């Protein structure tokens, strides 16, 4: 089983508190460490939860409301001051590149590591990145300004082996490794070992989706296809549905319905308005619609189902 998890760094909407930092999550999948959003204070949240800032190699910024990216400048600065040399890829709205340039020019800061900015544009779901261990997609959300959600989907680098069959044919450990990697090969006696005969089908790939900030909209269910664990914003309770609509946000019930429609296994909700000092009611409301729902707290850690 690949490692695939999410650490919640911040669960607050626009106004942070001492208990809830602004949006930020660290997703680890097949040893790639992806920071999704980076509100003010994210670098300290990473420190607080003992997560290495230097191992982050990909940053995804959903949109340019401050609570989702005001921590990016300080994080990059600290990475550089602490001696980072390895590169980083940042994906976000096109204007972010100009903002980074203006800010780092003004401070005459030169980051001592290479970073590549990739502008996210377009109105459709798109593949942002792929390597041997994962795929990252972006898809449009519906918010006051241009906003994207993200999907991180694991890829399998090895096939599960059919141990019974391997023992029957006395396949060596070395050869088992080749078969697991999907290689066919010939033995000394001239016989062929085909990986398809000695391996089991791949399990279904797990897929984590991040949807913050958005109001509900129909196409989202299609974008979420394949998602197994969904993080969905739940800024308000349903008694404030009108306010949610006005601000292009969702209620906890909306998040539950989206999880249901997308057929996921697990729902995480967050991005709570500062009016809610307790999040119990938000969780209850989501559970009414989708029982395996959890209202996340800063510092929470979840394995992706």
User: Please, what is the minimum distance in Å from the beta carbon of residue 14 to a second copy?
Assistant: 6
Q: Does 37 bind a second copy (CB under 8 A)?
A: no
**Judged by CB under 8 A, which of 77, 133, 226, 299 binds a second copy?**
77
Residues 6+ apart with CB under 8 A from 42: 9, 10, 21, 22, 24, 35, 71, 72, 75
CA atoms 220, 90, 46, 27: torsion sign: positive
**Judged by CB under 8 A, which of 28, 43, 58, 151 binds a second copy?**
43
Q: Does 297 bind a second copy (CB under 8 A)?
A: no
Stretch 136-155 residues interacting with a second copy (CB under 8 A): 144-145
- Beta strand pairing status for 88-92 and 58-60? parallel
Beta bridge partners of 116: 89
CA–CA dist 178, 185 (Å, integer): 8
**Judged by CB under 8 A, which of 52, 55, 81, 184 binds a second copy?**
81
Beta bridge partners of 58: 34, 89
Q: Does 78 bind a second copy (CB under 8 A)?
A: yes
User: Please, what is the minimum distance in Å from the beta carbon of residue 235 to a second copy?
Assistant: 13
Stretch 9-28 residues interacting with a second copy (CB under 8 A): 14-18, 22
Contact 37, 56 (CB under 8 A): no
Q: Which two tokens stand for residue 299?
A: 């510092």
Q: Does 64 bind a second copy (CB under 8 A)?
A: yes
CA 227, distance to chain mean position in Å, is: 11
CA–CA dist 169, 195 (Å, integer): 13
12 secondary structure, DSSP code: B
Q: Does 161 bind a second copy (CB under 8 A)?
A: no
Q: Which stretch binds a second copy (CB under 8 A): 36-44, 172-180, 263-271, 277-285?
A: 36-44
Q: Which two tokens stand for residue 18?
A: 């001492």
User: Please, what is the minimum distance in Å from the beta carbon of residue 266 to a second copy?
Assistant: 30
| Mask for 255-274, x = binds a second copy (CB under 8 A) | --------------------
By beta-carbon proximity to a second copy, the closer residue of 47 and 187 is: 47
User: Please, what is the minimum distance in Å from the beta carbon of residue 281 to a second copy?
Assistant: 22
Q: Does 73 bind a second copy (CB under 8 A)?
A: yes
Q: Does 121 bind a second copy (CB under 8 A)?
A: no
Report which of 120, 151, 148, 158 is spatially closest to residue 136, judged by C-alpha positions.
151
Alpha helices in 146-230 (DSSP H): 163-168, 173-180, 195-198, 219-223
**Judged by CB under 8 A, which of 3, 86, 98, 202 binds a second copy?**
98
* Known active-site residue 67: yes
**Judged by CB under 8 A, which of 44, 178, 205, 260 binds a second copy?**
44
CA–CA dist 225, 82 (Å, integer): 40
Q: Does 299 bind a second copy (CB under 8 A)?
A: no
Contact 178, 187 (CB under 8 A): no
CA–CA dist 23, 41 (Å, integer): 9
Q: Does 281 bind a second copy (CB under 8 A)?
A: no
- Beta strand pairing status for 148-154 and 192-193? unpaired
- Point out which residues bind a second copy (CB under 8 A): 14-18, 22, 40-41, 43-44, 47-48, 64-67, 70-71, 73-74, 77-78, 81-82, 93, 95-96, 98-99, 102-103, 106-109, 144-145
Query: What are the residue numbers of the active site?
Result: 67
């Amino acid at each position: 089983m690949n490692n695939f998890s999410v650490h919640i760094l911040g669960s607050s909407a626009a106004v942070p508190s001492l208990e809830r930092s602004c949006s930020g999550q660290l997703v680890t999948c097949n040893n790639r460490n992806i920071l999704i959003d980076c509100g003010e204070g994210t670098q300290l949240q990473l420190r607080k939860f003992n997560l290495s800032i230097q191992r982050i190699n990909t940053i995804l910024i959903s949109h340019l409301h401050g609570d989702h990216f005001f921590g990016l400048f300080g994080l990059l600065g600290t990475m550089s001051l602490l001696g980072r040399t390895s590169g980083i890829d940042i994906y976000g709205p096109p204007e972010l590149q100009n903002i980074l340039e203006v800010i780092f020019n003004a401070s005459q800061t030169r980051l001592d590591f290479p970073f590549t900015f990739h502008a996210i544009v377009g109105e459709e779901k798109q593949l942002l990145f792929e390597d041997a261990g994962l795929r990252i997609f972006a898809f449009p959300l519906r918010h006051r300004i241009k906003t994207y959600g993200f999907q991180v989907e694991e890829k399998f680098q090895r096939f599960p082996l059919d141990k019974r069959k391997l023992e029957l044919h006395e396949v060596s450990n070395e050869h088992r490794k080749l078969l697991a990697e999907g290689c066919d090969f010939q033995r000394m006696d001239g016989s062929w070992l085909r990986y398809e005969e000695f391996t089991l089908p791949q399990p279904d790939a797990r897929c984590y989706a991040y949807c913050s900030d958005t109001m509900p909209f129909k196409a989202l269910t299609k974008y979420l296809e394949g998602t197994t664990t969904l993080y969905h914003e739940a800024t308000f309770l349903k008694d404030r549905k009108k306010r949610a609509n006005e601000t292009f946000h969702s209620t906890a019930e909306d998040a539950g319905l989206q999880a249901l429609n997308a057929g996921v296994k697990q729902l995480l909700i967050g991005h709570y308005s500062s009016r809610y000092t307790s999040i119990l009611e938000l969780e209850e409301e989501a559970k009414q619609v989708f029982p395996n729902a959890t209202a996340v707290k800063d510092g929470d850690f979840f394995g992706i189902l």
